[in-house]
C-alpha cells in the first residue's frame, strides 16, 4: 500500500470540504446569488445544512481526515464545490484559475487554507489560462486526464502540462463537446467517475469516442449511466475506496449497476447541495491523499 494524491479511487485518507454555513453563509446570501450563479433553483439553506451533515457522516465512515475550508467573504456560494479550485498532486497543490468569472476568487482562498495547513504549492494557473478541477481526473498514477471545455482552455492545459512534465506525468487532453454551451457547467467529470483501477462510471452519450476507447484500451470496464439519470447526477460518483462509492439519492438504475459491479454504495439526499447547483459528491470534495 502507498499513499498518493494520484488516484480517484484509493482509500480516502484526507479531504477538504466546505460546509453550507461557510459557503452559502445565510438565507439572504442564497437569495442574492443563486440566480446569477445559474443554480437550477433556490436552495433551502436549512435543508442544505442537514444534507451536508449526512454527507459528511458518510465521509467520516471512511476514516478519512476531514478539513473544513473557512468562511471567506470574497467567494460565492459556488465555493461549496471545492474540487474545482485546485488539483492535488504528489509534488504539491496546483492552484487553478476559474473559467467561471464569478468563481475567480476561490483558488486564492483555497491556497491560503492549504498554506495554513503547511501543504506545498507546486504552482498556479495564470491568465489567460483557465483550469477547473472538475475537468481533471487521475486515470492512473502517471496519467492525468484533462477536459478541454468552456471552463478549461488550451492555455490553462499547456500550463498544467509544463508543471507536470518534469515529473513524467502524461496529461491526456480530452476535447469535450459543446453540450449546452458556455453558460452551463459541463466538466470532464460530468461524464466520468473512476471508482477502481479498472472501473469507471460513465455517461457514454457525451463522451468523446477517442477518450472512451483509450479507457477501454487501458483495461477499464464501465458502469453506464442511463439517459434518465443524467440530470439527477447519476454519473457524479465519489469513490471513498476501491468500489466503495457515494452518490446522490434518486439514481436507482446506476446504483443497481454499481452493485452488480461489486460496489458498496452510500447515498445521501442532495437536492439542495448537489442537484440545484449542479455539483455532486466529487464536486463537494477536494480529496488529497488516498492509499492504493
Give the Cα separation of 233 and 217 in Å (integer): 26
Report pTM.
Answer: 0.97
Rg (C-alpha) for the chain, rounded Å, is 17
Q: For residue 187, what pLDDT is reported?
A: 95
SS3 259: helix
* Among 60, 99, 56, CA closest to 80: 56
Q: For residue 235, what pLDDT is reported?
A: 97
| Structural domains of the chain, ranges and CATH numbers in brackets | 3-291 (3.75.10.10)
**Order of all β-strands in the sheet with 14-17:** 65-68, 14-17, 285-287
pLDDT beneath 70: ranges in the chain: none
Q: For residue 186, what pLDDT is reported?
A: 87
Phi, psi of 4 (to 5 degrees): -155, 155
Q: For residue 183, what pLDDT is reported?
A: 78
Q: For residue 181, what pLDDT is reported?
A: 82
Give the Cα separation of 82 and 148 in Å (integer): 20
Q: For residue 180, what pLDDT is reported?
A: 86
Give the Cα separation of 169 and 254 in Å (integer): 32
Burial class of 101 by CB neighbour count within 10 A (0 to 12, 13 to 18, 19+): exposed
Q: For residue 193, what pLDDT is reported?
A: 98
Query: Using omega within 30 degrees of 0 as the cis cutoff, is the peptide bond preceding 275 cis?
Result: no
Neighbours of 204 (CB within 10 A): 12
Amino acid at each position: 500500500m502507498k499513499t498518493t494524491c494520484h488516484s480517484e479511487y484509493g482509500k480516502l485518507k484526507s479531504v477538504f470540504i466546505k460546509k453550507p454555513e461557510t459557503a452559502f453563509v445565510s438565507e439572504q446570501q442564497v437569495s442574492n446569488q443563486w440566480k446569477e450563479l445559474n443554480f437550477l433553483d433556490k436552495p433551502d439553506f436549512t435543508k442544505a445544512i442537514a444534507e451536508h451533515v449526512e454527507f459528511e457522516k458518510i465521509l467520516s465512515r471512511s476514516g478519512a481526515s476531514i478539513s473544513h475550508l473557512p468562511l471567506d467573504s470574497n467567494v460565492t456560494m459556488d465555493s461549496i464545490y471545492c474540487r474545482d479550485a485546485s488539483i492535488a498532486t504528489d509534488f504539491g497543490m496546483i492552484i487553478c484559475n476559474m473559467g467561471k468569472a464569478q468563481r475567480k476568487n476561490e483558488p486564492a482562498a483555497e491556497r491560503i487554507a492549504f498554506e495554513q495547513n503547511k501543504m506545498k504549492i507546486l504552482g498556479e494557473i495564470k491568465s489567460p489560462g483557465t483550469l477547473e478541477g472538475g475537468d481533471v481526473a487521475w486515470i492512473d498514477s502517471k496519467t492525468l486526464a484533462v477536459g478541454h471545455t468552456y471552463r478549461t482552455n488550451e492555455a490553462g492545459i499547456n500550463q498544467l502540462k509544463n508543471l507536470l512534465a518534469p515529473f513524467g506525468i502524461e496529461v491526456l487532453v480530452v476535447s469535450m463537446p459543446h453540450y449546452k454551451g458556455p453558460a452551463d457547467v459541463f466538466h470532464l467529470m460530468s461524464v466520468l467517475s473512476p471508482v477502481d483501477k479498472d472501473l469507471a462510471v460513465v455517461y457514454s452519450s457525451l463522451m468523446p469516442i477517442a477518450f472512451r476507447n483509450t479507457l477501454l484500451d487501458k483495461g477499464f470496464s464501465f458502469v453506464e449511466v442511463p439517459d434518465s439519470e443524467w440530470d439527477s447526477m447519476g454519473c457524479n460518483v465519489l469513490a471513498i475506496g476501491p468500489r466503495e462509492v457515494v452518490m446522490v439519492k434518486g439514481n436507482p438504475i446506476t446504483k443497481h449497476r454499481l452493485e452488480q459491479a461489486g460496489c458498496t454504495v452510500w447515498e445521501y439526499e442532495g437536492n439542495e447541495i448537489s442537484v440545484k447547483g449542479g455539483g455532486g459528491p466529487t464536486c463537494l470534495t477536494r480529496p488529497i491523499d488516498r492509499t492504493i
